[in-house]
Amino acid sequence: MEPYRIKVVEPIPVLTRAERTEAMRAAGYNPFNLNADQITIDLLSDSGTGALSAAQQSAAALGDETYAGARSYYRFRDAVTVLTGFDHVLPVHQGRAAERILFGALLQPGALSVSNTHFDTTRANVHLSCGTAVDLPCAEAKDLDSDDPFKGNIDLDALEGMLSGPDYVGVVIMTITNNGGGGQPVSMANLRAASELCRAHGVPFILDAARFAENAWLVVQREPGWSDKTPAEVARAAFDLADGAVASLKKDAIVHMGGFLALRDKDLAARCEAVLIATEGFRTYGGLAGRDLEMIAVGLREVVEPSYLRARAAQTEYLAELIEKAGVSIVRPPGIHALYLNAGRLLRHLTPADYPGHALACELYVAGGIRCAELGSLYLGVEDESGVLVKPAPYELVRLAIPRRVYTQSHLEYVAEVVGEIAKDPESVPGQRIVSAPDLLRHFHCRTEPVPTAR
């Protein structure tokens, strides 16, 4: 059970099916265009959507808003240093700012950034720094149904080949847990081996540590030799293998805004600090308020509590169990921050060109007011000039991201019921076709419409 009780509540809107059908139509069938007043259960993101603790709120009252040298900065820095062991800690307003600053300082034009899987902002920031992002997920990740414990790993042979090959690798960045790869964890053995390869080739080894605590929990549960360690000890062992880390603290610090860039190398940190001051803020606030820094310091301690992580992981597992019982496949085994529904398998009557993941995301809203986003051909597919899908995504998935400390078991049971209702008559779900789409980041902006199915 959850190791906390609820003290502050927020009502959630419940619309009629007719209202939701109209809202979806007016939103151009893009869940990103819905507004909060139209949503019953919001599973769009686990980022910045968590519930604060009483301890975080009271820490916020101690926020020191001094321009330079605020007490809050030192409490933030000490919390990050105790957790990570890195000497140089720069606050940033969110994870992508840390990525932009780090890659700008680290990558020469043409350099490769190699990862288990880059998150989309990470990939975009590599490209903005004139680098090229290369993903090397392990072979096990290809089988969505297998129960391999660490499908977030990097393919070590491919990494070695890349590091010994002719191309210049400027950085290796490991995303823990692997959000772009089904929210799967990375094992300590894989991190150690990747770190050793990087050391041997003189390439900086960086963690994208947005969900460091959830990765640590899954290591404690799944990796031989780690079961008697605390999540904090596992997290520290992971950071010890790296030269630095970028982190969105909107996930595993359970705050609404924040991030850090932490490094061992003094010169690299100094170069990053100069850009930080020019683009985010002075080195003791980096775009955050003192109260944010205080809440982060507390959240970083709360998130590694075994009782919290156990309850959070159990919540996701429970939802996975209900959804699978309803006959819907997910990317197995369930991770922690999200479940990824296999929409391609559920909506067999649709082809990738009907965008089954997007069709399911739209249907989840119309059927039950559940908002989520697809990770399939709308997000990753490639069309020709006339709009014909020529390269579909490898899988048609829908991500149900679970905000931290926000929804109760009965909310999740409701989600499973809605999924189950859809699964009873999947062929009633229409495909979608694109009406308008910008070239860049189109899944945020595009408008689509249902394609009537002949039944």
Q: Mind telling me the catalytic residues?
A: 67, 119-120, 208, 210, 251, 443
Q: Report the interhelical angle of 356-368 vs 17-26 (nearest 10°).
A: 140
Nearer residue to ligand F0G within complex by CB, 24 or 372: 372
Residue 276 host element (H or E): helix 266-279
- Point out which residues pair with 419 in neighbouring strands: none
Q: Rule CB under 6 A: choose which of 38, 45, 115, 215 binds ligand F0G.
A: 45
96 binds ligand F0G (CB under 6 A): yes
CB of 358 to ligand F0G, least distance (A): 17
Burial (CB count <10 Å: 0-12, 13-18, 19+), residue 15:
middle
Q: Rule CB under 6 A: choose which of 38, 40, 53, 94 binds ligand F0G.
A: 94
Sole window of 118-126, 141-149, 216-224, 266-274 interacting with ligand F0G (rule: CB under 6 A): 118-126
Q: Rule CB under 6 A: choose which of 63, 95, 185, 286 binds ligand F0G.
A: 95
**177 touches 138 (CB < 8 A):** no
Sole window of 35-43, 66-74, 114-122, 321-329 interacting with ligand F0G (rule: CB under 6 A): 114-122
**241 touches 191 (CB < 8 A):** yes
What is the amino acid identity at position 275?
V
How many CA atoms, within 13 angstroms, populate the side-chain half-sphere of residue 35?
2
Which of 261, 266, 265 is CA-nearest to residue 245?
261
Q: How many residues are given for the chain?
A: 455
47 binds ligand F0G (CB under 6 A): yes
**By CB under 6 A, how many residues form the interface with ligand F0G?**
16
Which of 216, 222, 214 is CA-nearest to residue 148?
222
Q: Rule CB under 6 A: choose which of 122, 195, 432, 448 binds ligand F0G.
A: 122
Q: Mask: binding to ligand F0G, 210-239, rule CB under 6 A, as x and -? A: x-----------------------------
Which of 184, 408, 415 is CA-nearest to residue 312?
408
- Point out which residues pair with 171 in neighbouring strands: 113
Nearer residue to ligand F0G within complex by CB, 209 or 446: 209
The β-bridge relationship of strands 41-42 and 244-248 is: unpaired
Nearer residue to ligand F0G within complex by CB, 347 or 373: 373
Q: Rule CB under 6 A: choose which of 57, 121, 132, 329 binds ligand F0G.
A: 121
What is the amino acid identity at position 41?
I
CB of 296 to ligand F0G, least distance (A): 12
Q: Reply yes or no: is the peptide bond before residue 185 cis, omega within 30 of 0.
A: no
- Give the span between the Cα atoms of 396 and 355, in whole angstroms: 8
Sole window of 13-21, 26-34, 116-124, 189-197 interacting with ligand F0G (rule: CB under 6 A): 116-124
Sole window of 74-82, 117-125, 151-159, 161-169 interacting with ligand F0G (rule: CB under 6 A): 117-125
Nearer residue to ligand F0G within complex by CB, 183 or 431: 183
Window 174-193: residues binding ligand F0G (CB under 6 A): 175, 179
279 binds ligand F0G (CB under 6 A): no
- Give the span between the Cα atoms of 109 and 126, in whole angstroms: 10
Return the residue nearest ligand F0G (CB atom).
95
Identify the sign of the CA torsion 21, 26, 32, 36. Answer: negative
**264 touches 272 (CB < 8 A):** no
Sole window of 12-20, 32-40, 89-97, 340-348 interacting with ligand F0G (rule: CB under 6 A): 89-97
Our measurement of the distance from residue 165's CA atom to the centroid of its chain's CA atoms, rounded to an integer in Å, reads 30
CB of 45 to ligand F0G, least distance (A): 3
CB of 238 to ligand F0G, least distance (A): 14
φ, ψ of residue 185 to 5 degrees: the values are -80, 165
Q: Rule CB under 6 A: choose which of 116, 153, 248, 432 binds ligand F0G.
A: 248
Residues at the site binding ligand F0G, with contacts judged by CB under 6 A: 45, 47, 94-96, 119, 121-122, 175, 179, 208, 210, 248, 250, 259, 401
